Amino acid sequence: MVTALTQFAGYLAKKVWLRYTLFLAAALAAIWINGYHFGTFDQVIHIPFLKKFSDPGLYPADAFLDLRNEHYSYFWLMFLPAYRAGILEPVMFAVHLLTTWGLFAMFWELTSALFYNPLANLLCVCMLVFPHLGMPGFQIIEFSLLNRTFVLPFLLGAMVLYLRRKTTWAFLILGVMFNLHAIYSGFVLMMFLVDGAVRWREIGWKRILAGLALFGLAALPVFLWQSGGVPLDLTLRPDLLKLSGSALLAGVYYMFSTVPQIWLGTMHGAATLAFYLVARRMNVSPHERVITHFMLAIGLLLLVQLVTTYWLPVTLVLQLQILRIGVFLMIIGYIYFAGYLAAALQQGRLSGLAGGLVVFAYVTYVSPILPLVMLALNRWLARYPWRQWAGAVLLVCLHAVTLVFGLKSGFWSPGYFLYEPKTAWTEVQDWARENTPRETMFITPPHIFMHYIPDWRTFSERGTLATLVEIFEFPHPGYLSYWQERFEAIAPGAIERFNGNYFDTFKFTREEYYSLSSQDYLLAAQKYGCRYLVVEKPHLQPFPVVYQNEGFVVYDLQGLN
């Protein structure tokens, strides 16, 4: 089996057309397995911003949309022609497909540059089809198109060029991508700079300076945009950290916590680091020194995050959410472990069913912890056939439990969903968009949003008083008090109850929203100029009904507030 896989991988390495066709099939499979959902998760912010850029008259009374000017990225502006032409959804799916195809291609190229072992490349391609979690909980292939997902293949391509000593080209690509996603591009720039600082004699200081000059020139548009925007904020704001961390953003700030999703994310980060360390012991890559410096850069940035979170909460550093560099730790770890597995299989140190279980866990299981456990148990399992079969049964059962849990909990939703989801919630948004003036403000349930559930603004194109989604734009010191005042008006006491648990935040907010009396809703509407109230059934109110469906009721408060 290993010989056949090695031969097939070698054949793919020689046949470019076949390899790229395989990448397309793998990309389609990966998108379906991971799910593709338009207008959900982070897109609930970007889609309304895009609409506001296209039509500044939308959301005129909703100050949240003004924050679009602080998103220093040209990525979404590229979709303005598609939006105006009414073909945004298929165009975004096509870009997502091409991005995913490019990600498979760059994983292959980066693995090739590191190991020169086609079997390792093939293992990486197989692994990438399935969802995997690292620190702080992001997937490599996400379930919607975002600027951070778009730039990832290009950044991996820059790393390939850097390893192949095409330094200036690598810096140039980073500069261009900096205009689309400054944070991810900055992470890779930090890796290059740490390696360049250590190996400047070997690389050549002139090439490093030329690369930096090209980076600065290519990144100039976004630098000019930022220079005319909000000044960089270096003040200490523990209040911002406390509120955003206790509400929804603990996962991108904290590495140590009793909250399950925090410590699980940290364990996943440690597991992907272990992938690298296990493989490094075999000295499987000729670029080991460079990758060591890359990992050192990741460690230094994580140290900055620790200092910021637990000691000096500098606003600018909080805005960068440095813990997201765990995505690159995951990528390097998974690629390195593929190199280790390929070498171990070819050398016979992993063989039989016991060795196959390690590979199967690496390729298919969502958590990087399981492959390490199977590797640790490999020799014990290999001693007796019954142990191997028992391990296989347990592994299949664990996969089954994980799949059922993912589907039942709503954490996993495979399939292609290219357009607005058709639910009772989006039907209310459609009614608002089609039957109310664009300046109309609503009071809406602030807690209705999740991975595959859009926020009110996404499809309604109407403003709302306050929602939890706005926390994703923290820390923005100038916006915090504005949001907090309005949020307290419709969910009084919820902020004091926030404890860092992502799911408790939604629960507490829902409870406080529906604890309000009819008079409370009226007072909030009067104070902030809101005409309509939206509630979930059966939380009915004694106001005139203008629309309802199986899940929601919309009340007209005009003349009552």
Q: What is the pLDDT of residue 561?
A: 58
Interatomic CA distance for residues 262 and 521, integer angstroms: 35
Q: What is the pLDDT of residue 523?
A: 95
List phi, psi (to 5°) of 296.
-65, -40
Tokens 């560099």, located at residue: 325
Q: Is 374 helix (H, G, I), strand (E, B) or coil?
A: helix
Partners of 441 in the β-ladder: 463
Are 122 and 12 a contacting pair, CB within 8 Å?
A: yes
The neighbour count for residue 513, using CB atoms within 10 Å, is 23
Interatomic CA distance for residues 118 and 19, integer angstroms: 11
Q: What is the pLDDT of residue 475?
A: 61
Residue type, 74: Y
Listed by start position, the domains of the chain span: 20-406, 424-556
List phi, psi (to 5°) of 441.
-110, 140
- Distance from CA of residue 86 to its chain's centroid? 27
Are 341 and 123 a contacting pair, CB within 8 Å?
A: yes
Task: Return the closest-CA partner of residue 461 out of 60, 85, 37.
Answer: 60
Task: Return the closest-CA partner of residue 179 out of 77, 94, 89.
Answer: 77
Q: What is the pLDDT of residue 468?
A: 96
Interatomic CA distance for residues 561 and 557, integer angstroms: 6
pLDDT tens, N- to C-terminus, the chain (561 residues): 788 888 989 989 999 999 999 999 999 999 999 999 999 989 999 999 999 999 999 999 999 999 998 889 999 999 999 999 999 999 999 999 999 999 999 999 999 999 999 999 999 999 999 999 999 888 999 999 999 999 999 999 999 999 999 999 999 999 999 999 999 999 999 999 999 999 999 999 999 999 999 999 999 999 999 888 778 888 999 998 999 999 999 999 999 888 888 999 999 999 999 999 999 987 668 899 999 999 999 999 999 999 999 999 999 999 899 999 999 999 999 999 999 999 999 999 999 999 999 999 999 999 999 999 999 999 999 999 999 999 999 999 999 999 999 999 889 999 999 999 999 999 999 999 999 999 999 999 999 998 899 999 999 999 999 999 999 887 666 788 899 999 999 999 999 999 999 899 999 999 999 999 999 999 999 999 999 999 999 999 999 999 999 999 999 998 665
- Cα-based distances in Å from 498 to 49, 242, 452, 504: 27, 10, 23, 7
Alpha helices, DSSP H, located in 281-351: 288-310, 315-320, 326-346
Alpha helices, DSSP H, located in 132-286: 147-163, 167-178, 182-198, 200-203, 205-218, 220-227, 238-244, 260-280
- Inter-helix orientation angle 326-346/2-14, to 10°: 120
Residue type, 508: F
Are 215 and 174 a contacting pair, CB within 8 Å?
A: yes
Q: What is the pLDDT of residue 478?
A: 75
Residue type, 425: W
Partners of 535 in the β-ladder: 553
- Distance from CA of residue 431 to its chain's centroid? 31
pTM over cut 0.85: yes
Sequence-distant (≥ 6) Cβ neighbours of residue 111 within 8 angstroms: 117, 120, 121, 124, 335, 338, 339
- Exposed/middle/buried for 354, CB within 10 Å: 0-12, 13-18, 19+? buried
